[in-house]
Every structure is written in structure tokens, then in C-alpha cells.
Structure 1
Amino acid sequence: MNVSDSTPPAPLAERFSRIDGSALREILALTARPGVISFAGGLPAPELFDAGALQESFAAALGRPHQSLQYSTTDGDPDLREAIAARYAARGFRVDAGELLVTSGSQQALSLAATALLDEGDVALVEDPGYLAALQCFTFAGARTVPVATDDDGILPDALEETVRRERPKLLYLVPNFQNPTGRTLPADRRRAIAALAARYGFWIVEDDPYGELRYDGTPLPPVAAEPAAADRTILLGSLSKIMAPGLRLGWLHAPEAALSACATAKQSADLHTSTVAQAAAAAYLTRYDLDAHVAKMRGVYAERRDAMLAGLPAALPVGSTWNRPDGGMFIWARLPEDRDATTLLRRAVDQDVAFVPGAPFYAGEPDRATLRLSFTSYPPAEIDEGLARLAKAASA
């Protein structure tokens, strides 16, 4: 048969037509050029990885090859789940290890929650702006993603109630601590109000907390999942990526029994279980080493880097720009004057070998094109200063 006479293959699944990740992929490709100081990615500082201790932990795991190199249960390593439960208990939130499902990063946990909760045409509410991968995940699941208005403290309960009454959503997705992309933290009174609204109207809460332990100022707040009104309707996502190493690809979810079972079934069909050896190594690390001391070291370094970026922004951004001062996490959210477009500034910035992420892709609603996200964790203060000096040249061009 002549190849030119063959019938083209069947098209890809229709769901892919609903996903547009091309704009951000193009932006990140620009920022990956050698020599670019990139404030674009939300990456932990690699020099802070506890590589020696992790190497020893993997050696300990491989010392038991019949366990660490074999197939395992979908739920996850029992020792690791016990260690995660203990870390929650130390922060005042008591969970049972049996209520945890270990996942391949918290991104998989989010995907499993979407699979467990969303049917085609359901409504998923999100903060506006919000985490881009969540917008893509819910769209991929066939849901209609609807934004909820926010202010400098995060989601507005009154706006949430109005949107819930209008849209009758299946779930609300939140990043309450040092949110991506804005770095905002949801106050305690709003957490209680959101929990009460979930109880009143019957929607689920998917609470994503990858940054919660990276607090530099203020007092830690209990998760929304700890609110009695939300306890039976919240799926809480966590991760070791930001506090140990993202290459481990270890996350988890905590959920009520029915949702936990559904997520475990979805995971079983997706990958059977998360890497056995990575789980065993993480469990060994948490048993043998002091992760709290390591995280405290990270917090000290990151706080210094945040302060360096905040000190340099007045000279780096155009007059009339504004930005926040996050209490933790990895991101500063800035806004240029009304007549400026952050994507246009990015093109000029890349010419100066510096980069950031424009804010527009993070909006489920009408984007604010003057906004941008800057990550401060990847570079020491001297390089942050140099990057901001380059940004100042781009902004004045």
C-alpha cells in the first residue's frame, strides 16, 4: 500500500482542544536560555537540597530491596503515612495515617481529586487569579471553571456565596497559604466563612497546601480542613517537593472515607502506586533526620531572598507599579501602571537576560494584563540584585 494513499489516524481526544498551555510553555522556553536570570519558575533552591542525607536515606531504603524495589499497595508506604500524620499533628491538625493517600506529587493528588469529584459539565470554582495547572486540570476533566473574585487577602466570602448561588458548583479549589501566583494568605475568618458556605451549600473544597511550611513572618493558620464545618467535605493536598526535593515526586491527599476510596481507585488505574523506593527513602529520612531543622534553614535563606527582591523592586519596575509583601512561600505579585502590558515587558526583559511570568495566564476570568509573578527563591541576593538591574533596563526601554 502506498503511504500517500493511507487514511490519516483518528483525531486526538476532544478534551485536548479545551486545553491551551502553549502561551506559558512559550514563555518558559524563552526563560530557559543560558545566562538568563529567571524569576519565572517556582523552583526550590537546589543548593539547599539535603542531598547527603537523602543519599543515605536511599541507601537505607535499598538495604531492604525485597520491600523497596517491589510492587506496593496503592495507599502508600505505611511508615511514610505515619510520618506525614505526625507532622500534621505537630502543627495542631490530627489526622489518621489511614486517611492519607500517597501520590506522585501533589499535582497527581489534584488530578485524582478532579477525577473523583467532577463529571462532564460540573462547575469548579477557582480563585482569580489562581494556580494555572488547576485551571488546566479541571478543564481537562470536562468541568466548567468559574472564577471567584479576590482581594489582597484572597477569596472574598461574599463574592463566593454569590457565585455559589448562581453556579451551583461541585467544588472550590483553594491555595490558602502563600498562594500561587499571588503569594497571598487567606485569613482565619475567611477560612471559617468558606467552610460554613461549603456546609450550607454542599460543595467540596480542594485545599492545596504545598507552601504552608515556608512561612517567614506571622503565625501559622490551621487548614480549612481543620474547620468542623468542612471536615467531611475537604480534600487536603500536601507535598514534599518544596521542603525536601521536587525530584522525589512525593505528595499526598487527606480526604473523607468515600472521597479517599474514589481517589485510590483512580490512582490504581493510573499508576498502581507511587515509587516504592522513593517512599521508603522519604520515610527513612523522616525517621533519621530533622526535617524541621532543614526547613528552618530554608526559611531563613528564602526570607533573605524575599527581602532582597522587595528592596530592589522600586528601582526595577516603572513608577506607579505596586506589589505585595508575602509572609511566606515563593512568589511576589506585582502590577504595572494601567498603560503597561506585562507580556510586552517580558519580551524586553528577555533581551536583557532576565525573566518573569506575566499574570494573564493565571486568570480564569478576564485577565489583568498589567500583572506579573516574580519568584525569589532560586537566586542569592547578589544575583537577585543583578536580575532586577536588568529588569530596570527593560522597563525603561
Structure 2
Amino acid sequence: MASTPGLISLGGGMPNPSTFPSKDLKSIIDTLIDTKSASVFQYANTLGVQETLEVIPAYLEKTQSITCLPENVILNSGSQQGLYEIGKVLANTGDTIITEEPTYVGAISAFSASALKMEGIEMDSMGMKTDLLEEKIKKLIKEGRKPAFIYTIPTFQNPTGYTMPLERRKHLLEISRHYEIPLIEDNPYGELRYYGQNVPAIKSLKDAEDVLYLGTFSKVMTPGLRLGYTIAPVEVISKFNLIKQALDLATNTLSQYVAYEYVKQGIIYKQVALNVDLYRKKRDIMINALSEQFPKGAAWSKPEGGMFVWLTIEKEVDTKEMIGEAIKNGVAYVSGQAFSTNGTQKRSMRLNFTYGNDDQLAEGIKRLKKTFGN
């Protein structure tokens, strides 16, 4: 769809190609081929290349204040694979799990593959409502359906862009510990902050040793190299290892070595700063265009970082049914229903501001206005 002539796609979750550090990656790859071809083209250990396993804890300590050891890390073919492993290891077929409502469509896909029953917890602009979460857990336990785990994207959530404040993160962790329900923190966008103060990762908080943490190089290097990682207790990592052996034996060896050099040489920190500058401008263009085109009749999130804006039309409308009309008007989005665990979110849609060029972002919002009217 994104390649349809004249169509402006605000739907995909793709980074902007101008952020791909092609020259740096070419230099890294050329050197690796010249000096380590016997290693970079060989099978890797299922858990990952040792050098990369060792550099990730230092990287997380610097960027997220997370303390872990190499034995707490498994490298995956994108964090999507990590989500699938979590669904297989931490739950059994038919188990109930908890997510935000709405939540990441890839998580819905991964957990559905294990036939898990998802219970979505309503959100506000500060993320998952933890008071409702606790009420839901008590209800499920009474029904004999204690959740197998809780899944959250607390920072620049996909699809809403919302960020959970520190006190609510602490409450979420407290609930997880009190009811002995594993907590999964997915943080693909954490370094893409454009405004406001950093909020500590849940995994970095006191008593968060058992929190499972998902990270990725897709937003800070390139998505095409397909490299993500999961941080977990050693006994859980060993179970992920068995699942991954059956899935693909090992993650792409060359990608792992490239990521190692990318972090070791400090290129990642320079590139993220460039990405932030670019995306801040694009975020502002979309927010300003929404203010101009929808002075009334709609509401939207105002994310301090990440890649997405969540737009909700106030009148009764089904954004899924309206996709055809939107495409006729030359714009695409993802309907809110794609992110729903219960078939709701019909009046909402996710808009991506990182991929399109500046003129496309403003024009795309104009075309949305034409589609949904006053």
C-alpha cells in the first residue's frame, strides 16, 4: 500500500530511511568481512554472539540504567520473535494474559499464535490504568483464570504514544510482585524522546529483577537487520533458548557482529541524536496539522517521543470501514480495531509521523480531514 502512486501512508510503523546509517554500516561490514569472515558467516550460538551478548548490558546500563549480565540476554530475530517465545514459555494454550487496551498489533499476533486469551486494560494519557488492572486481576483469580503474565509498553506506547509516569510504573511493579504475575516491559522506542524528562524503565526500578525486558535495534540502527533481545532471569533464558533452537537455530550472525561494532564504536549514540532531531520536527508537523485541520470533532495524543499519534474521531464512525474511502482520498492509516483485544477502538486510528516526508505529513492530515469531514 505504501508504494501506491500518490498515496500518502501514515499507517506503517517504519523508521525514516534517511536515518539508516548506511556509510557507517558499510564501513563496519567491510571491516568485518576483511577481518572476521570465518566468524561472521558461520552459525552462531543460539543465545547469540558472545561479544554482542556482552555489549548489551553496558549499553542498557548507559541508556536505561538497567543492570543485567550477559547470561540474562538472548538475541532474537527482532523483538517480535521474543514476544513469540514469551507466549510459548510463560503461558499454556488457553491461558489468560493481560495487555493494554489498545496494544501493539504484533503482540496480539504473537500471543494469538499460542492461543492465549487477552484481557485488555483501559488506558488514559498516562498509560494502563493500574487501579483497573488490580480489579481485573482479582476478578480473574476468582474465576480461576489467574493471568500468566502482564504485557506493557510503558514508554511512547504503540499505538497511542502514551507514556506511563513513574508512580504508576511503581504501582504496576507492585501489583506484579504482590500477585506473583510476571511483568513484560517492551521498550522499542525508549531512546526516541523529543520533549520532557526521561522516565525510568520499569526494569531499572528497585525490586524489578524478575521483570522481563524486550529491546530492539530496529529503531536505533535499521529494522532490516532484524535484531532484538530479551533480558530475563537465567532460568527463563534457558527456556527461550530451547524454543529458539526450534525456530531458527540462531539469529543472523552478521547482524549481531554489526550491532556489536555499532555500539562499541559509539555510533549508536550519535545516530540516535540525529534521529531524535529529525523525528521531533516531523512529530510537530503532524500535531500542528491536526490542530489546523481538526479544530473540533477529534482528539489525539501528543506524544513526547516514539513514532505514533492516536487519533480519535468524536462522531460515530468505523475507521476500519472508512479505509477504502481514505485510500480514494489518497491517504492510509491503521484502524484502531487492529490494536484492540476486544473489537473496540472503532473511532480511532494510528498515525505514523516518522516515515513520510514533511510535506506528506501535512497533506496526509488534510486528506484525513476530507475523509472524515467535520
**Common fold by TM > 0.5:** yes
Amino acid at match of 1:368: Q
Q: Does 1:203 align with 2:181?
A: yes
Task: Point out the structure with max Rg over C-alpha.
Answer: 1
SS at match of 1:166: helix
Segments of 4+ moved more than 4 angstroms? none
Count of aligned positions: 367
- The correspondence for 2:252, drawn from 275, 294, 316, is 275
Partner of 1:386 in structure 2? 363
Q: Deviations over 1:198-252 (max 9, x none)?
A: 11111111111111010111122222122333322x2100000011100010000
2:301 paired residue among 314, 317, 324 = 324
- Which residue number in structure 2 is paired with residue 12 of structure 1? none
- Give the match for residue 16 of structure 2: 45
State the percentage of identical aligned residues.
Answer: 32
Kept in 2, the 8 Å contact 1:361–1:367? The answer is: no
Report the alpha carbon displacement of residue 391 of structure 1 after superposing the two structures with TM.
Answer: 2.3
Unaligned runs of 5+ in 1: 1-28
The secondary structure found in structure 2 opposite 1:60 is helix
Cα deviation 1:92-116 (Å, max 9, x = unaligned): 2222122111110000011111111
TM-score, normalised to structure 1, is 0.89
Structure-2 change in CA distance of 1:237 and 1:137 (3 Å)? same
> Within 2, Cα distance between the matches of 1:106 and 1:39?
23
Q: Determine the C-alpha separation between the residues in 2 that align with 1:339 and 1:362.
A: 19
Contact 2:59 2:263 in 1 (8 A): no
Q: How far did residue 133 of structure 1 move?
A: 1.6
- Mapped partners of 2:262, 2:130: distance in 1: 40
Q: Does 1:136 align with 2:109?
A: yes
1:137-165: CA deviation from partner (whole Å, max 9, x where unpaired): 21211221111122121111111111111
Question: Is the contact between residue 214 and residue 229 of structure 2 (CA under 8 Å) also seen in structure 1?
Answer: yes
- Contact 1:315 1:392 survives alignment (8 Å): no
Which residue, 17, 22, 27 being the options, matches 1:56?
Answer: 27
Alignment of 1:31-180 (within 5 A): 31-63=2-34, 64-91=36-63, 92-167=65-140, 168-180=146-158
User: What's the counterpart of residue 4 of structure 1?
Assistant: none
Alpha-carbon distance between aligned partners in 1 of 2:199 and 2:295, rounded to the nearest angstrom: 35
Report the TM-score, using the length of structure 2 for normalisation.
Answer: 0.94
Q: CA deviation digits over 1:34-59, x for unaligned, max 9?
A: 22110000100001210011111111
Is 1:186 the counterpart of 2:164? The answer is yes
- Cα distance in 1, alignment partners of residues 334 and 246 from structure 2: 35
Structure 1, residues 256-291: CA drift from partner, whole Å, max 9, x if none?
111111111111121111011111122122223421
Preserved CA contact (<8 Å) 1:93 1:222: no
Structure 2 residues not aligned, in runs of 5+: 141-145
What is the CA deviation profile of residues 43-87 of structure 1, one whole-angstrom value per residue up to 9, with x for unaligned ones?
000012100111111112222111111112111112212222111
Superposed CA deviations along residues 11-33 of structure 1, whole A, max 9, x for unmatched, are xxxxxxxxxxxxxxxxxx4x542
Code of the aligned partner of 1:129: P
2:143 matched residue in structure 1: none
Corresponding residue for 2:228?
A: 251
Distance in 1 of aligned mates of 2:206 and 2:266 = 33
1:299-314 matched pairs, under 5 angstroms: 299-314=276-291
Secondary structure, counterpart of 1:160 in structure 2: helix
What is the RMSD computed on CA atoms of the aligned residues? 1.6
- Does the 8 Å contact 1:318/1:336 carry over to 2? no
User: Relative to structure 1, is the Cα distance of residues 226 and 285 closer, same or farther in structure 2, using a 3 angstrom cutoff?
Assistant: closer
User: More deviation in 269-278 or 91-100?
Assistant: 91-100
